[in-house]
Chain A
Amino acid sequence: MKELSAEDRDKELWTVLCRSETDFYQARMAFLALVDNPVPILRQALKLPSQRGTALRVLEVVDQAIREDLFFDLMALATSDHSDIDLVRQAIKGVRKPRRERLIRAFLDRLPAQLEEDEYRRLFELLTTLRSDSVATLLERAMESTSPEIRTLVDEFQPIASSETPLTIDQAELRSLISGSHGWQWTEADIELVTLLLQGHSLLDVSRRLDWSTAEVRARLESILGRLRAATT
């Protein structure tokens, strides 16, 4: 039998990938168009690690009412899952904030008294990422824990929760300072930082995108503002 050339093998691999992707989208469209009730199917799939990724990729595109129906399932996963954590958090984020806040409050009310440190961590990470008001409730619960390790989490997450209050920068002043700083040498990181803040990203978002701590972002911003003010006076 004749062996395929490297070029033909590459084309074959690519064709298989394109066909598989088309199959996925066609199957997802068929599922969404024809399924009678997607909620029980998706709920069950979220409980099966081998089907969870598919369920989360369906949840990316479904009506928000379905994400709301599965909200507690997603929150339970957000406290325990590692492999698909980003998709789980995105699905939770896909519920509009006022409704999401109510559902988070209800979820926290039903949380079992005994949570492990790991589960507290996942919840703190989620709630601070979402800038949820309920982080205060979780901090209170953690403070009351009999576990010293869980109480330590309060010291770790309280400052992050506080820094998640909107950063008090005067955007008009920042814009004006930037427009008067033509002679100033901007580093790439400074431009990225200021751009993200002006685009309305939270301090935490910015710190994640730049892979800096929130304290570093704050310090960097203060330094930029100080130098800009000095340069324009």
Chain B
Amino acid sequence: MDLFALGSRGSPRPPRVGVDVEINPSGLVVVTQPPTGASTFADRAIMRRLRLTGHLHRLPAGSFLGEDLAVLADGSDVGGPHAATHHTIWAPNPIAYERLVELYLKLPWQYWGVSR
């Protein structure tokens, strides 16, 4: 399924330290349980219902995430802690925060427009 992330017109918002990910003193992203990372949603209607608006970027279904990134469905629709259809894009192994941002932004995002 396609995933949608919010951001600026230019790119989806990369994961932020203290908001989306934790880093250790060496600057490596901490692999947490539950996994933490960048937020995406599979259903734009849910985002509207949550009142999450703004520039949407689409990650097409089947996109290759590479070896250092993974995606986890963790919304309430699958019994998870977040809003329905939420998916977390995360690093399952410790990597430098800057590398995580780089990899995330290099995913094949497509600008989708503004959701209001």
Give me the interface of A with B, judged by CB distance under 8 Å: 47-50, 53, 77, 80-86, 116-118, 121, 125, 129, 149, 156, 208, 211
Contacts and interface: CB of A to CB of B under 8 A. Distances in A.
A83 B39 contact: yes
A86 B8 contact: no
Q: How large is the interface on B (under 10, 10 to 19, 20 to 34, 35 or more residues)?
A: 20 to 34
Contacts of B88: 83
B77 interface: no
Nearest to B74: A83
28 contacts: A47-B18, A48-B22, A49-B18, A49-B19, A49-B32, A53-B34, A53-B81, A82-B6, A82-B20, A83-B20, A83-B39, A83-B82, A83-B86, A84-B82, A85-B83, A86-B50, A117-B54, A118-B7, A118-B8, A118-B13, A118-B54, A121-B54, A125-B51, A125-B52, A208-B51, A211-B45, A211-B48, A211-B49
A81 B9 CA distance: 18
Given A85-B50, A86-B50, A50 B34 contact: yes
B33 interface: yes
Nearest to A125: B51
B6 A149 contact: no
A42 to B, nearest CB: 15
Interface of B: 6-9, 13, 16, 18-22, 30, 32-34, 36, 39, 45, 48-54, 81-83, 86, 88, 116
Given A81-B19, A84-B82, A118-B13, A50 B36 contact: yes
Mostly helix, strand, loop or mixed at chain A's interface? Answer: helix
Contacts of B19: 49, 77, 80-81
Given A50-B22, A83-B20, A118-B7, A156 B34 contact: no
B116 to A, nearest CB: 6
A20 B83 CA distance: 21
A208 B33 contact: no
Nearest to B35: A50
